[in-house]
Chains A and B, each alone.
Chain A
Amino acid sequence: MKKAITFTLNNEVIETEVDPKWTLLYLLREVLEMTGTKEGCGYGECGACTVIINGQAVDSCLYPVMEAEGRKITTIEGIMLKSGELDPIQQALVQNGAVQCGFCTPGMVMSAKALLDEKERPTEDDIKDSIAGNLCRCTGYVNIVDAIKSVAGGR
């Protein structure tokens, strides 16, 4: 039985019909066709599916779609600046060579964004803690941490 839900996705009000057994990730990727958010493990271990819900980074693969009702959700598609430019975090990742295969990148960006929205000047430990739930198997984490640090230091 499909149920109607309403929520805010990237500052746009979305009304859609969902099956209660879906996860938020399934709705995003398979139904709304917003494939920027990735599915890695599906068990909340890798963080590739990270989205921001009401200001907090959350694994969308473990998030029941019914809980999206009335909440404010931001995905990687929603963080581009109004001018069409990349978000400073994305720019910094490019400049620091922090992207190789790119599969973990959307999740990394969302985790970093949640941190930088919450804390003006995060410490290196804060940064490491914020992406502890995002696995990257290509670059190692040094360049990614450097990139996030450069955004935090540059503003």
Chain B
Amino acid sequence: MRSYEYYKPQTMQEAVGLMDRLEDAKFIAGGTDVMVLLRQKKLALKNLISLRNIGDLVYIDKKDGLKIGSATTHTEIVKDEFIKRFYSALNDATTHLGSRQIRNVATVGGNICNAAPSADTACPLLVLDAKVIIVGQKGEREVDIDDFFLGPNKIALERGEIVKGFHMPQFGDNTGSAYIKHTRRQAMDLPMIGIGARITIKIGKSEVRCRDALCTIDTISNVLARLQDEELEIEDARIAMGVVAPRPIRAKQAEAALKGKVVSEKLFREIGEIAATEAQPRDSIRGEAWYRKEMVKVLVRRALMRSIDRVIRPDDTIYPERLW
């Protein structure tokens, strides 16, 4: 392995200054991507600038929405009950990423900035309308996460800039979200397909919570069938798809088709079909394109069902896992 220097700045300004000054340098956070690339000799550089010791990059702030620092580890996100309840998709994604050893060091900022099409936290941040807060020599700027991904391993970050964090708006009880990672193994696998969804329903006179004991144990299909007369109207929806394009993308036509409609399983099935037309997966060792496309239909429906389930049954909710 080629030799390199290792810098440990304590503040954001110091880190940005180092990047400006040093040649052939790269930022490293948890290192679970960078260290592997170095070892595989796919990356050669003279300087590594560590973001692990900058306290200002580690925070989970729950005032007016949710603000997460870029150097926050996946383990810290998994543990957070507030995120599990109101930003469930993010909990889904971080819970099943890598192994415990990886989650203990890997950061959410690193996952996003590595910008793999399969990045697990990308779909949740896309459906949760995250803004990327970027710090550079000239100060702070904000980019919509949808504009942040440019391609495989390419992001809208100028040289010398770092991502400070991700800020998401506040969601109420009428919002549910989910992320489903489709893998061959249950652990330590990258997604063959990753689907994120969020549904916000209109708060009207309709009562959406469970009213009888049966509702709490029944399948969401049956619950939805029984709630049909309530006409739960979808106010806003997001669908994001991973590994179906060079970058994590939103299924915007499918999202538009959801808006203003009344929730039903039949509708979600149609939405899955629309989302599949927006997906352009390719053949790879993890799965063939035709299969991935078929699975988009299934997983979009499931992710939407899971999201609405979390609105209707938030308490016993989220877990234990039900059969969707």
Binding site for B on A (CB under 8 A): 1, 3, 19-21, 23, 42-45, 47, 50, 56-59, 61-64, 66-67, 69, 111, 114-115, 129-130, 132-134
Contacts and interface: CB of A to CB of B under 8 A. Distances in A.
Given A64-B6, A66-B6, A57 B39 contact: no
A111 B102 CA distance: 12
A20 B100 CA distance: 25
Contact of A64 (B31, B75, B98, B100): B31
A63 B188 CA distance: 18
A92 to B, nearest CB: 19
B36 interface: yes
B101 interface: yes
B105 A133 contact: no
Interface of B: 1-6, 8, 28, 31-32, 35-36, 39-40, 48, 50, 52, 75, 98-102, 104-105, 186-188
Contact of B50 (A56, A57, A66, A115): A66
A90 B40 CA distance: 34
B125 to A, nearest CB: 23
Contact of A130 (B1, B8, B100): B100
A42 B100 contact: no
> Which among B2, B4, B28, B188 has the highest number of chain A CB atoms within 10 Å?
B188
B99 A47 contact: yes
A58 B99 CA distance: 10
Contacts of A132: 99-100, 186-188
Given A21-B2, A45-B188, A62 B8 contact: no
